[in-house]
Structure 1
Amino acid sequence: MRTPARTHLRRVRTHTKLFMNDRMTAGKYILTLFLAVFFSSSCNASDGPLFSLEQNLTDLIFDLSRSVVTVEASQRVPAVELSGSSEEVMRSAVSSGIICDSSGHILVVAGTVVGRDRILVSFDSHSVPAVVVAIDNQSGLALLKSTAHCGGRPVDFSEVRTCAGRMIVAIGNAYGVRSSPSLGFCAGLRDDGLMQFSVQTISGSVGGGVFDLSGQLVGIMTGGLGAQNEATLAVPAYRIPEIIAHLLTQGDRHSGYVGVSSREIEISPPIRINKANHLINAGSKSPVIVKRGILVTSVVPRSPAMRAGIRVGDLIFSVDGVAVNSATGLASYVHQSQPGRIMTIELLRQDRSFSLELQVGHRAIDPIYDMEQPSVPVDYARMIDSLKHSLELLGEEILHLERLLEDDR
């Protein structure tokens, strides 16, 4: 006698068998179709879709490379700094640049040209001198002006503000090869206002362009992420016309500096605080619920942060009355602040809330000399930060255990 359960099981097995047969049939069909396309294109490669794709990419990369130049910036340095000699030597950095207009203006990463005695811009085999027009300390870009036409054509700036998932082409110098292309994808817009891409930042490619497949500039590469620069950061193209206009009409744009390193932490459960204890000003005593904050991990000696009284271990939860949730967002806010202005910082210190005033300092751009420099110092910095974090966690665990022992007593 068939029970309902056995009948249901028989039906499931029957449907499963039919489904598997359908999948096998579909798989055979897809495999046959793939082999037909593959072998048909292999037999006549010049007419196949793969050849067409390759040809289209080749044409696109050639067109885009017409907007990318090589920038060589040199500085005279006493050889005693390098070898103990009293003679002078030239220290150079080779990077990339983007042609902005037909008047000879070129955008580069400021660190590759700041403080240099001579700047040469090269396109193909033609090189011309260039001078620095102005520096944007907020974005880290500098505007050059070539003394003569060096060839090439201006880029088309994309106005897209988000490009996550879209395929891109990054073009810059790579180990002496001009306009070396890399294919990748846009990861999206970060909290600090930069775009992130899944292409490696290669030596000399800093200052090069990231383009979409329509040929428009999406961003200018400013650096990499990770021990081996596995990902690339870039200033978004939609910001660049405003940057150029500011540099041409108002000159240098300054950037703020505080002098702290930090990381964001989540507070669970959230804490309720009364903003009653203040180092400088008496403010509102209304309670605030804090769910996230920025933990100060280091303070630069003689920096604006140290002069204002910020200490390692402070938890910043508000800046100028606005809650802060990420370290990159805080850094971006500071960089966009004008030096000299007063910033109000609210923080927690040993379960007490404080409010203090900080005068924003001036952020200077450090020169980049050796584009071939290995990433070992970056690795050491990451190791030190990781060790500090581990020690902080260990200290918190020790305090927790001490409280438990006191409760047992």
Structure 2
Amino acid sequence: MKALDIIKYVFKSASYGVFIAVLLLLFFPKLAGNVDVFSALTKADGNGQPLSYAKGVSVASPAVVNIYSKDFQSSSAFTTRARNVQRLGSGVIMDQAGFILTNFHVVQGADQIVVVLQTGQQFPAELIGYDYLTDLAVLKVAATNLPVIPQNLALQSRVGDVVLAIGNPLDLGQTVTQGVISATGRNGLSSNYSEFLQMDAAINEGNSGGALINTNGELVGINSSKFKQNNRLNPVQGIFFAIPYELAYKVMTQIIEKGRVVRGWLGVASDFYEPNYKGFIVQDVTPNSPASKAGIRVNDLIFSIDGKPIDSIPQALDIVAETAPGTRIDIGLYRGDRKISVPVIIQERF
């Protein structure tokens, strides 16, 4: 019985201690440091605010616009009667000067482009330039005090990040869909379609060129397209693509400054990376290319470009693509047992 009395005494003392501690924290919350005790207790009953992305959407959505492009075409070879073909898309206001990013296929061949803000304001838009490789185009409208989407050049997208796609699907008006990033692509200028951001936030016709944002409202990418395949018996769901923000920003900057995207070109092809030597084996050299003129040969193993080690073939392509044409760089390579350096003058890729 003595042991039982001791146990009862301990539990009784502990209960009093917990009760006193709760009272102290409720009346003197500063004792808890950064912990909001009252909020913690009230949320426990399930009456707290629900999880919402409304704040991020509210800061980004005013900068997402509807784009209507029209082609004036003859209806047939036997009549001069013209017909209007209107295409639908979305765009993102990137700065207060009126520059807007969208997909090139939204405005390709358009005779008239109209941008509509979420306030209902309409502006005629001028096509400043475009880039086939990334399917990006830059428009400009003559307007002031435009809403600009939040941007962060240091942003690094990760697989699993929650993202929100904002656009005008099927001309229903601005719509938001939610998903996660399923895979990340490269941000270099040599990137192709399959290496963009992959996500499962639904996009449909009209979403192209709209904004992909994170939950803070920052621009993550430009919505591009959904995965397509010919086999209708095996439908694909939840695979959509967006152009990474960093890449879109590089393309936009070049288009604004130069009217087009300028990429460097070496003129070699390879699909075999040798991890033991940390380089790629040249499998083809284009005639009259910078590589050919410099004497680079098939079966050479390139391990560095302009002093930068090669981690992968895509990374090597990006180094070359982002080198200004006319620049002299050194290519480090193995030829048989010899380690040599070959100077090359990079040319522009057309």
Please give the secondary structure, in 1, of the residue aligned with 2:279: strand
1:65 to 61, 66, 71: 61
Is contact 1:256–1:334 with CA below 8 Å preserved after alignment? Answer: yes
Aligned equivalent of 1:104: 98
Aligned equivalent of 1:274: none
Is contact 1:161–1:238 with CA below 8 Å preserved after alignment? Answer: no
Aligned equivalent of 1:235: 244
Deviations 1:231-280 (A, max 9, x none): 5343336984x87677666665522234555335234xx3xxxxxxxxxx
- Relative distance call for 1:363 and 1:235 in structure 2 (3 A) is farther
Aligned equivalent of 1:317: 303
Structure-to-structure mapping, 1:156-167, within 5 angstroms? 156-164=150-158, 165-167=160-162
- Relative distance call for 1:354 and 1:84 in structure 2 (3 A) is farther
Deviations 1:54-103 (A, max 9, x none): xx346754653322123344566788xxx877978777754321012344
- Asked if 1:340 is matched to 2:348, the reply is no
Aligned equivalent of 1:385: none
Aligned equivalent of 1:181: 176
- Relative distance call for 1:137 and 1:101 in structure 2 (3 A) is same
Please give the secondary structure, in 2, of the residue aligned with 1:64: helix
The residue type paired with residue 120 of structure 1 is V
Deviations 1:348-391 (A, max 9, x none): 56777665554433345xxxxxxxxxxxxxxxxxxxxxxxxxxx
Please give the secondary structure, in 1, of the residue aligned with 2:317: helix
Displacement after TM superposition at 1:131 (Å) = 0.8
- Relative distance call for 1:191 and 1:246 in structure 2 (3 A) is closer
Structure 1 unaligned blocks of 5 or more? 1-39, 42-46, 271-289, 365-409
Is contact 1:132–1:143 with CA below 8 Å preserved after alignment? Answer: yes
Deviations 1:164-202 (A, max 9, x none): 243121223445444443322346765545873423665
Using the alignment, how far apart are the partners of 2:293 and 2:226 within structure 1?
32
Structure 2 unaligned blocks of 5 or more? 1-44, 230-235
Aligned equivalent of 2:220: 218
Displacement after TM superposition at 1:318 (Å) = 2.1
Is contact 2:187–2:244 with CA below 8 Å preserved after alignment? Answer: no
Deviations 1:97-141 (A, max 9, x none): 101234432122456546654322233565432113455799775
- Asked if 1:145 is matched to 2:129, the reply is no
Aligned equivalent of 1:32: none
Using the alignment, how far apart are the partners of 2:78 and 2:299 within structure 1?
46
How does the TM-score come out when normalised to structure 1?
0.53
- Relative distance call for 1:259 and 1:186 in structure 2 (3 A) is same
How does the TM-score come out when normalised to structure 2?
0.60
Aligned equivalent of 1:265: 273
Using the alignment, how far apart are the partners of 1:320 and 1:358 within structure 2?
9
Aligned equivalent of 1:256: 264
Q: Sequence identity of aligned pairs in percent? A: 27
Q: CA RMSD in A?
A: 4.6
Aligned equivalent of 1:119: 113
The residue type paired with residue 131 of structure 1 is E
Number of equivalenced pairs: 289
- Relative distance call for 1:251 and 1:298 in structure 2 (3 A) is same
Higher helix share: 1
